[in-house]
Structure 1
């Protein structure tokens, strides 16, 4: 608190850190999730989009699918 002595503040701080380290929560994921491998979202009005994509750093994702050749189709199609 504001009226605590420096020694009391150290003790309070140590208690806070103890609580933080004791109360760690984790949410596990299974396999190679979208968080790790990325998520692809493509609108219906885009053309020249591959249905599958090689997704790995060595493949220079997304450059392997040549995004410079993607295009938008007419909204009516």
Structure 2
């Protein structure tokens, strides 16, 4: 079985994304994974509402590198 090492935090935080994020964290906890969140306020409130006991290890988020054409100003067009 592969070890779960990361859960990506959604950036849109619409209701489906919040539910999927909380579900992924709950599943990780059921699998006895140590869950540490490096995205404070919004993620913390989502997890608190979902009843997930997780350790918030930082208050700064890292954004993935730009790779979608719409995020690069449609340079590919």
Q: TM-score, normalized by length of structure 1?
A: 0.27
Q: TM-score w.r.t. structure 2 length?
A: 0.27
